[in-house]
Amino acid sequence: MVPMIYSLYGFAIFFFIFWCAMWLIHLVAIFYGKYRLHNKPTAIDSDVPLPGISIIKPLMGVDPNLFTNLETFFTMNYPKYEILFCVEDDTDPAIMLVNSLMEKYPKVDAKLFIGASLVGVNPKINNMNKAYDAASYEFILISDSGIKMKEDTLLDMMRFMSDKTALVHQMPFTCDRDGFAGTLEKIYFGTAQSRIYLTADFIRINCHTGMSALLRKSALDDIGGLQAFGCYLAEDFFMAKAFTDRGWRITICSQPALQNSGICNVNSFQARLTRWAKLRVAMLPLFILVEPLSECMVIGAGASWAVNILFKWDVLGFYLVHILLWFICDWILLSIIQNGSLPFNKFDFVVGWLFRECSGPYLFLLALFDPEIRWRSRIYRLEWGGIAQEIKPRLKL
């Protein structure tokens, strides 16, 4: 009987401490986000020339926003850069679109590379490898197809690239997009994900998500170049880990990444989150426990039970107050990251937030019980540790 009481109290204390840690994460994210994001670049010292940047854009297929997203790379305020577009398949419709942009902006140094080099299983790495080998400058920006840039984004990223830094990344966020899926994506990236992302950056834990990342090429060459990460699907995480293992700093810049893919629906968004969850669990198995526990509804339930055991507090009252406070913190954080008016009203936020908070744990369970990973036209399986194997030949979409 006594061991059972000890275990009960042990679990209650564990839930209570975890719950306190989550509130600390909320506070760190809010204060660090306010301090770190959206501060205007200080005047650039015109005597020190800015280093050149080779921008690598891996493309696969087109979507309704691709043209306008890519166009933002031709109109950036940065003195020296080249754009290296990569397309794996010579029948890809993205080729036509890139060619028309290159014709429209003949003064911008842009090239198109067609055909992947097979250096591993990661199709993004295979697609980018030729461009990486041809890059002229000492810094590389890897930028996914759905990213939209502001005129000063490159300047913003470069000002965080100190001598000790090998990687400056943009925290994932989204452009304002219509519809429930657009609201949901903004809420997810501006609350649940950014809370962890900002805290991890604050305490210098690697959380690099590689949709928009400025890399020091010499440091990447020292660890084997892009191709050294072709065996992983989460090449972003392992690249950053290799840098930090060698003493390099990695950091976020002040502008969050503006994801603006023209394909914006709840199913594809959830499929993407499930794919990412599978990557995290394979790389960091502790996430099987901590990730569901970090969800509002789950830790709230655990903490409500715990405070009832420990302090005899009312379970339902505690749970409702917990949800309300979590909701308010999320609203504050989202407003900080948006840094302007949100494209939806408070009612839409309540609906989107509840949907996200209730579906999050369910999506995580789905990810745990389905070992196959589908990424665009390919299907993979991951080994513990993160090495990937392609298990079905490429599908023609």
Ligand X SMILES: O=c1ccn([C@@H]2O[C@H](COP(=O)(O)OP(=O)(O)O[C@H]3OC[C@@H](O)[C@H](O)[C@H]3O)[C@@H](O)[C@H]2O)c(=O)[nH]1
Ligand Y SMILES: CCCCCCCC/C=C\CCCCCCCC(=O)N[C@@H](CO)[C@H](O)/C=C/CCCCCCCCCCCCC
The item of ligand Y, ligand X, none sharing an interface with residue 375, based on CB under 5 to 8 Å by kind, is ligand X
> Which range touches ligand Y (CB under 6 A), out of 60-68, 189-197, 324-332, 374-382?
189-197
Select 159 or 381, whichever has its Cβ closest to ligand Y.
381
Residue of minimal Cβ distance to ligand Y: 234
- Within 202-261, which residues bind ligand X (CB under 6 A)? 209-211, 233-236
- Within 15-44, which residues bind ligand Y (CB under 6 A)? 18, 21, 25
Select 62 or 382, whichever has its Cβ closest to ligand Y.
382
Is residue 210 a contact residue for ligand Y (CB under 6 A)? yes
CB of 336 to ligand X, least distance (A): 23
The item of ligand X, ligand Y, none sharing an interface with residue 186, based on CB under 5 to 8 Å by kind, is none
Cβ-contact 166, 305 below 8 angstroms: no
Place of tokens 């990687």: 167
HSE-up of residue 201 (Cα within 13 Å, Cβ side): 26
Select 238 or 326, whichever has its Cβ closest to ligand X.
238
3-state secondary structure of 395: coil
Cross-strand bridge partners of residue 167: 215, 250
Cβ-contact 52, 169 below 8 angstroms: no
The item of ligand Y, ligand X, none sharing an interface with residue 123, based on CB under 5 to 8 Å by kind, is ligand X
- Within 104-163, which residues bind ligand Y (CB under 6 A)? none
One residue of 23, 67, 137, 276 binding ligand Y per CB under 6 A: 276
Q: Rounded distance, CA 357 to CA 297, Å?
A: 7
The item of ligand X, ligand Y, none sharing an interface with residue 18, based on CB under 5 to 8 Å by kind, is ligand Y
Report residue 18 as tokens: 């975890």
What are residue 187's phi and psi, to 5 degrees?
Answer: -65, -45
Is residue 207 a contact residue for ligand Y (CB under 6 A)? yes
The item of ligand X, ligand Y, none sharing an interface with residue 272, based on CB under 5 to 8 Å by kind, is ligand X
| Site size for ligand X (CB under 6 A) | 19
Q: Rounded distance, CA 333 to CA 329, Å?
A: 6
The item of ligand X, ligand Y, none sharing an interface with residue 291, based on CB under 5 to 8 Å by kind, is ligand Y
Q: What is the torsional sign of CA 246, 247, 253, 257? A: positive
Q: Rounded distance, CA 322 to CA 329, Å?
A: 11
Q: Quote the Cα angle for 40-45-46, to 5°.
A: 120
Q: Rounded distance, CA 125 to CA 378, Å?
A: 14
Q: Which among 295, 131, 117, 277 has a CA at the least distance from the CA of 209? A: 277
Is residue 279 a contact residue for ligand Y (CB under 6 A)? yes
Is residue 205 a contact residue for ligand Y (CB under 6 A)? yes
| 92: annotated active-site residue | no
Q: Rounded distance, CA 17 to CA 27, Å?
A: 15
One residue of 39, 376, 389, 391 binding ligand X per CB under 6 A: 376
> Which range touches ligand X (CB under 6 A), out of 139-147, 239-247, 316-324, 339-347?
139-147
Cross-strand bridge partners of residue 213: 142, 169
What are residue 338's phi and psi, to 5 degrees?
Answer: -65, -35
Which residue is catalytic, options 45, 236, 314, 348? Answer: 236
Q: 179-188 and 315-338 are packed helices; what angle lies between their axes, rounded to 10 degrees?
A: 100
Question: Contact residues for ligand Y (CB under 6 A)?
Answer: 18, 21, 25, 193, 196-197, 199-200, 205, 207-210, 234, 236-237, 276, 279-280, 290-291, 294
Q: Looking at the annotation, which residues are catalytic?
A: 236
Question: Contact residues for ligand X (CB under 6 A)?
Answer: 58-60, 123-124, 127, 144-146, 209-211, 233-236, 272, 375-376
